[in-house]
Amino acid sequence: MLTDYHCHILPGMDDGAQDVETALEMIEIMKEQGVERIIATPHFYAHEERSLTEYLLRREDAFESIAELSAIQYIVPGAEVAIEHGISKLHGIEQLAIEDSDMILLELPFRDYEDWMSEEINAISSEHGLKVVLAHVHRYLQYYTPEHFERLIKTDAIFQFNNDAFLVPREEKLLRRIIKEGGKVIFGSDAHNTDGRRPNWDMIKEKCSPEILKASDELLEVKISPVYADANINTKE
């Protein structure tokens, strides 16, 4: 079941789909590209929200506005949670995990890496029993020192790559390395609209081996398969 683990299709929630029409167009594109399951991950910035409860109600309303009209019926609510000082202390943070799972998508700050970020990640994992997924990890290559990046990728996190990582040699090299070392990798379009940041599953299906995509798709249902260590992610002939 081809799964988009990271996208912004819920209308009016963030800088993604601004209305129901755009959301439905994005979903239609995904269906045409073969996507069968969508994890909807609107941004959650604790410092901007009045309360977690209000955010969850807005998310529910946005979901219901497209649920009966969507070309893809298997849409699962989640969130892209910004790592901020004290985020691990947020009461009820487990409600931001992908629904019916223990996986929570976290977004690191786009600046120099600092120790408090690791402390928040570790606390979310240990104190709340959640499996941390680091969003678009390849996008931090330009911000972190090699030493800090080594520290990051040696954690027990799941690493989410945007599909377009296959278009940048340095980012694809990182993906290769994590898989070779037995890391856990999932994919998402990180789609926000129907033009500049449209769904791009047609591209990744050309660039990525079916074994790697299958392992990503099954991560919500099964434990990590040995395919991660053995799969070949070279561009198909």
The token pair that represents 154 in the structure block: 């040696």
Q: What is the DSSP string of 32-100?
A: HTT--EEEE--EE-TTT-S-HHHHHHHHHHHHHHHHTT-S---EEE--EEE--TTGGG-TTGGGGSPTT
The mean pLDDT value for 204-231 works out to: 71
**pLDDT at residue 221, as a whole number:** 64
More confident residue, 225 or 34: 34
The closest of 118, 122, 82, 106 to 160, measured between CA atoms, is 106
**Residue 163 CA neighbour count, 13 Å, CB half:** 27
Q: Residues 68-127: pLDDT tens digits?
A: 999 999 999 999 999 999 999 999 999 999 999 999 999 999 999 999 999 999 999 999
* Residues in Cβ contact with 58 at an 8 Å cutoff, skipping those fewer than 6 apart: 12, 13
Q: Residues 138-189: pLDDT tens digits?
A: 999 999 999 988 888 888 899 999 999 999 999 999 999 999 999 999 999 9
- Give the start-to-end residue ranges of the domains of the chain: 3-230
Residues 154 and 118 sit within 8 Å (Cβ to Cβ) = no
Give the single-character DSSP code of 160.
E
The mean pLDDT value for 30-42 works out to: 97
**pLDDT at residue 73, as a whole number:** 92
Q: Residues 59-68: pLDDT tens digits?
A: 999 999 999 9
Torsion of CA 217, 53, 130, 113, to 10 degrees: 90
Q: Residues 209-219: pLDDT tens digits?
A: 999 999 999 99
**Residue 216 CA neighbour count, 13 Å, CB half:** 31
CATH of 3-230, one of 3.20.20.140, 3.40.50.980, 3.90.1150.10, 3.30.950.10: 3.20.20.140
